[in-house]
């Protein structure tokens, strides 16, 4: 029963994704339509595109299992941080200003924004390199966890799962561009909402209900390294490791403010009213999906005796196996929905990442080099070629990592989020709000984040180590160093701006004049007559 049901749902899901891709072809005939949906995308599509790009299978399978195991129910704070910092505040602080200024400067990518905002082609090139280097391993990481979930139902090789996901995603993105991605993200988002609610309810019922599950979890003790054993820590308000929890919340929440594929959603939204609605929709989506994922992961230790939770050779838990182990005994329909849910989450994020990578490489590197020889059609064609390239490369990297257990790839995946957010968050945020930020300060931020990433990689490989308490903690994990990169950038950029040559005042004033312009809205004749009759 399970296999036919899952196959039926997957076939329907795949057919719908491809159908949307073909239907959206008319929106992808020029660069503006292919990359930004004509800058006329509504609040529902934009909000769901933002949320589905945010939360992938990595969140559901990897992070929910890992942080739920480490922090217990307090891991729910990560999901709430994602909702209120990563979604609500991101929309409130970045949404309107990003939309207005990127239209005013006519920028379509984040590197393009850095060039026009700070009057520096060098910054665009550096930003493009950072995007290219760190988005590919980030894209490859989206396939993580798919194998363990699909093995619940199918006994097919991991590379087959990767191939199916990669090919189908490439088809609808190539044909329909951003609009196809946004429409499919909306559909995939609905699947994620329904799936998360169904899984959480089913898992709690399998443990005797919420109260019984919490009671069982409270009996679990948490031994602290070199410290006492804490009883009931996994059901406490901040869990056994509150400081570590804070760093995870900051990285996964504040980091979205500097990720090109996330900020790019604000480029395309059609008006300010849509931003207000999108803020509410996106926050609700994040509360349910992210909050539900981490809340579910918090009960992972109740399944510690499951034969399906795997361990590494050194005896530590393989975190990607925790969530699949929790799902093993659930009803067939719920398992089938989960399979589609995880595939939907991964495909939505993959489509966003490859579209961001291809548009950045085409518009910020290839097109300027080609000059006037490259018209709109050639640019769109080139982006489609690069989409195929990025999908193939990410899939090959994921297969090689799994087949040969290549440590370098795994470490690159781990630091990608921190590297991108650390490099771009401060320059982009300050660029929207302050006229005093200099291009030298932006360059320093890029260099600082890149150096932090290189040091973190060297520490991960054991090439270097730090004995000091502060540096030792910072480079203990990519989470800690990623947070320091972001916060450090927020501190460095204004300080460096104070001591470096100021930007041209007239040019900067002209850029910021867009925020002072009044918006004139055309009134329908019926509304005008109604006003005059009052």
The DSSP 8-state label assigned to residue 311 in this structure reads B
Residue 414 resides in a domain: no
> Stretch 445-461: mean pLDDT, rounded?
93
The DSSP 8-state label assigned to residue 229 in this structure reads E
The H or E element containing residue 303 is none
**Taking Cα atoms as reference points, which of 428, 323, 281 lies closest to residue 57?**
323
**Residue 28 contacts residue 377 (beta carbons within 8 Å):** no
| Greater pLDDT, 280 or 221 | 280
| Greater pLDDT, 162 or 80 | 80
pTM for the predicted model, two decimal places: 0.90
Residue 506 resides in a domain: no
For residue 454, the tally of other CB atoms under 10 A from its CB is 12
Residue 145 resides in a domain: yes
For residue 349, the tally of other CB atoms under 10 A from its CB is 26
Residue 526, pLDDT score: 46
CATH code assigned at 230 = 1.20.1730.10
Domain count, the chain: 1
- The rounded distance, in Å, linking the Cα atoms of 196 and 201 is 9
**Taking Cα atoms as reference points, which of 424, 415, 416 lies closest to residue 442?**
424
Residue 224 resides in a domain: yes
Residue 456 resides in a domain: no
Q: Which domain holds residue 13?
A: 2-362+374-405
Q: Give, in order, the Cα–Cα distances in Å from 118 to each of 360, 365, 419, 431, 444.
A: 18, 18, 21, 8, 13
Residue 459 resides in a domain: no
- The rounded distance, in Å, linking the Cα atoms of 357 and 140 is 13
pLDDT tens track for 395-451:
998 888 878 777 676 677 778 888 999 999 999 999 999 999 999 999 999 999 999
pLDDT tens track for 118-141:
999 999 999 999 998 898 888 888
**Taking Cα atoms as reference points, which of 321, 331, 315 lies closest to residue 300?**
321
Please tell me the least confidently modeled range out of 330-339, 409-418, 461-470. Answer: 409-418
């Amino acid at each position: 029963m399970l296999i036919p049901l899952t196959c039926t749902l997957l076939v329907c899901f795949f057919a719908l994704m491809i159908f949307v891709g073909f239907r959206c072809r008319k929106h992808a005939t020029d660069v503006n339509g292919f990359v930004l949906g004509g800058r006329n995308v509504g609040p529902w599509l934009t909000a769901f595109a933002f949320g589905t790009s945010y939360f992938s299978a990595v969140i559901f399978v990897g992070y929910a299992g890992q942080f739920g195991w480490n922090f217990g129910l307090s891991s729910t704070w990560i999901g709430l941080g994602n909702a209120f910092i990563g979604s609500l505040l991101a929309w409130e602080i970045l949404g309107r200003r990003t939309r207005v200024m990127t239209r005013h400067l006519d920028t379509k990518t984040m590197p393009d924004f850095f060039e026009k905002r700070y009057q520096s082609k060098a910054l665009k090139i550096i930003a493009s390199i950072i995007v290219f280097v760190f988005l590919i391993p980030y894209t490859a990481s989206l396939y993580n966890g798919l194998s363990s979930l699909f093995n619940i139902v199918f006994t097919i090789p991991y590379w087959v799962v990767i191939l199916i996901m990669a090919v189908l995603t490439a088809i609808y993105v190539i044909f329909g561009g951003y609009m196809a991605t946004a429409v499919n993200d909306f559909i995939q988002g609905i699947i994620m909402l329904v799936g998360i609610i169904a899984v959480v309810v089913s898992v709690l019922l399998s443990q005797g209900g919420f109260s019984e599950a919490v009671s069982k979890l409270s009996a679990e003790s948490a031994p602290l390294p070199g410290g006492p054993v804490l009883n009931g820590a996994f059901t406490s308000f901040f869990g056994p490791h509150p400081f570590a929890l804070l760093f995870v919340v900051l990285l996964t929440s504040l980091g979205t403010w500097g990720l090109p594929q996330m900020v790019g959603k604000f480029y395309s939204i059609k008006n300010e009213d849509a931003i207000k609605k999108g803020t509410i929709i996106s926050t609700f989506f994040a509360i349910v999906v992210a909050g539900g994922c981490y809340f579910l992961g918090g009960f992972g230790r109740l399944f510690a005796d499951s034969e399906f939770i795997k361990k590494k050779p050194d005896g530590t838990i393989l975190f990607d196996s925790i969530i699949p182990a929790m799902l093993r005994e659930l009803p067939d329909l719920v398992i089938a929905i989960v399979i589609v849910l995880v595939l939907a989450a991964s495909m939505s994020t993959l489509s966003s990442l490859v579209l961001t990578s291809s548009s950045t490489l085409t518009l910020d590197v290839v097109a300027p080099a080609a000059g006037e020889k490259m018209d709109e059609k050639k640019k769109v064609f080139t982006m489609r070629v690069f989409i195929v390239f990025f999908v193939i490369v990410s899939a090959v990297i994921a297969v090689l990592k799994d087949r040969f257990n290549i440590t370098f790839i795994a470490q690159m995946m781990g630091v990608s989020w921190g590297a991108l957010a650390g490099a771009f968050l401060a320059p982009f945020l300050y660029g929207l709000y302050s006229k005093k930020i200099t291009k030298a300060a932006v360059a320093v931020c890029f260099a600082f984040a890149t150096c932090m990433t290189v040091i973190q990689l060297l520490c991960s490989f054991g090439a270097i180590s730090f004995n000091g308490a502060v540096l030792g903690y910072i480079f203990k994990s990519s989470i800690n160093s990623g947070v320091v990169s972001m916060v450090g950038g927020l501190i460095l950029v204004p300080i460096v701006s104070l001591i470096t040559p100021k930007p041209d005042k007239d040019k900067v004033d002209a850029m910021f004049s867009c925020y002072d312009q009044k918006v004139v809205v055309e009134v329908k004749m019926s509304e005008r007559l109604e006003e005059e009759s009052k």
